[in-house]
Structure formats: C-alpha cells, structure tokens
Amino acid sequence: MLKRLFDIIVSFVGIFLLIPVFVIIGILMVFSCGFPLLYFQNRVGLNNKDFKLFKFRTMHLNADKKGLLTVGGRDSRVTAIGYYLRKYKLDELPQLFNVLFGTMSLVGPRPEVRKYVDLYSKDQRLVLTVKPGITDYASLEYINENELLAQSLNPEQTYIEEIMPAKLKLNEKYIKQQSIFIDLKIIFKTIFKIIK
C-alpha cells in the first residue's frame, strides 16, 4: 500500500514537472522523424498478464519486425533523435504514466516481452509475482546492454543464455529484499548513472 502511494505521488509530480521536457521532445520528434511520437509495446507484467508499455518512439516505423533486441549504440533501425533519447533514457519517461495507471511501479523487475517470458523456468517466473518497474538492479547492471550485445556474434543467443538469466538473478535479489528504502536507493543510483 505504501509502495503504491509512493508510486502515485512520485509519478504524478514527475509528470507535472516534466511537461516542458515532454513538449520539447515531442517538437523535436515531429521535425526529426514525424508521427507517431509514442510507441506501445506488449510486455508481461504482474501475474503473467500482458499490458501496454509506453515509450517515446526511437525507431523507424515497423522496425520491431526486424527483431526485438537493439544491438549497439548505432542500430540502423534507430532514428537520429532516437539515439539520444535512448542514450539518456529519455525514451522511458512516458512509463511514468504506466506507473500512475498502476501497470508498473517506479522500481521493480523490468517487464519482458512474451517471447522471452515463455522461456522462463518455473523458478524464474518468481519475477511475475511483483509489479514490473522502470528501473531495478538489473537496469543498473546492464545500463549498456546494447553495447554488450553488439560484441556478440549471435546477440539473441547471448541475451537468452547469458544476459537474461543474470538479470533474473538480480530481479530475485530485489524481490527478496524490497523496501521503500531500497527503492529510493535504486532510483537515486539510476539518476546518477544516467547523468554520469
């Protein structure tokens, strides 16, 4: 209950304060890559239920049909402005609305697409017993995941066999020790890492 109240207050205040940023990003996107400004992707959330995750669109239209993973900092599917939105995690800001609406939390395991959730073991499905979040331990550890995948000869295999299991271990760590204090710690660490 306290966590939900915290999510509502912080997401509402965050959205209000970031209105100028949303407007500036929207204007830049209109002139750079046109409409639509938002990208809605099906992700798997609490209790294994699908929901729509909100993001600023950073790829050319229908680019997701060429693969779900983004590889390297200069993936050819990413728009010019999308590169910078991704680099500074600004494309994630619309997820504050996900938090406000209750499909996500500020802190929690990052929600995955169904394709990869279907590969989870029984133990790994523990991650589906909590609300997904904008940031978590795995987000901090793999903040440069795209660059890691760019070094692989088979990015998807590397993601499935190495990165995804490691991220799920970090999710398990969070689930076992979650608290408002831990959430605040992760939020400030995330902001610091992005600025740095």
Q: Give residue 159's Cα distance to chain centre.
A: 16
Q: In this predicted structure, what is the pLDDT of residue 137? A: 96
Strand 133-135 relative to strand 105-107, pairing: parallel
pLDDT in tens, 152-161: 888 889 999 9
Q: How many CB atoms lie within 10 A of CB 69?
A: 16
pLDDT in tens, 10-41: 999 999 999 999 999 999 999 888 889 999 99
Q: In the structure, what pLDDT confidence band is assigned to residue 74 with cuts at 50, 70 and 90?
A: low
> Are residues 180 and 6 in contact, defined by beta-carbon separation less than 8 angstroms?
yes
Partners of 39 in the β-ladder: 55
Minimal CA–CA distance to 115: which of 151, 69, 170, 148?
Answer: 69
Is the entire prediction scored with pTM above 0.95? no
Q: Which two tokens stand for residue 168?
A: 């799920």
* Positive or negative torsion for Cα 83, 87, 90, 96: positive
